[in-house]
Amino acid sequence: MFNEFVITPISTIKQEIDQTRGPIGLDTETTGLNYSTDRAFGISIAFGNSYSYFLRNEFYTKDEIKDLLSYIFAMQRPLIFHNVKFDAHMIFSTYNVEVPFNLVHDTFTISYLLDNESSHQLKSLACKYITPDADKYEAYLHNYIKVNNINNWQLVPIPLMDMYARKDAEYA
């Protein structure tokens, strides 16, 4: 189930983005939640009805990811994040690119404004509004982390982390 992993050239991703319309979902995967010390080890993007990618720093240079983010942000398309405050900080501190907040729609904030008493976690919202099993990849990931006693998500096997990260951008 988690053995698919392909490194797609940035030029191909740009072409695919150009062939679609509508919003672009983005999410960072980070070494932790500390603004001062942690950084993104990759960024996931989703666009169109069927495109999603997880760009890991170990397979793409930070300059390649910076170039792609700058390209996306210059397009002036709506950008969908879940908790943009965190992701914008990680994008800037890791890739030195500023998120254009005038284009951002934050599903975390929108959820809170619509219903301030329910869960605002991405997977909870995705289970409620998209598909009841939206949390299955997170469950696989948490199980792997627990069974293997690891505390750094960067150490999760690439195919499992790739699927989890891509789903985050899709659900946003």
Residue 4 pLDDT class (50, 70, 90 cuts):
low
Judge contact between 52 and 72, C-beta under 8 A.
no
Using alpha carbons only, give the angle 26, 119, 122 rounded to the nearest 5 degrees. Answer: 20
Find the mean pLDDT for residues 6-20: 93
What are the residues facing 43 on neighbouring strands? Answer: 28, 55
Instruction: Go through the domains of the chain in sequence order and give each one's CATH number.
Output: 10-171 (3.30.420.10)
Dihedral sign for Cα 98, 102, 103, 108, please: positive
- pTM for this predicted structure: 0.87
**pLDDT (tens digit per residue) in 122-160:** 667 666 777 777 777 778 878 888 899 988 888 888 888
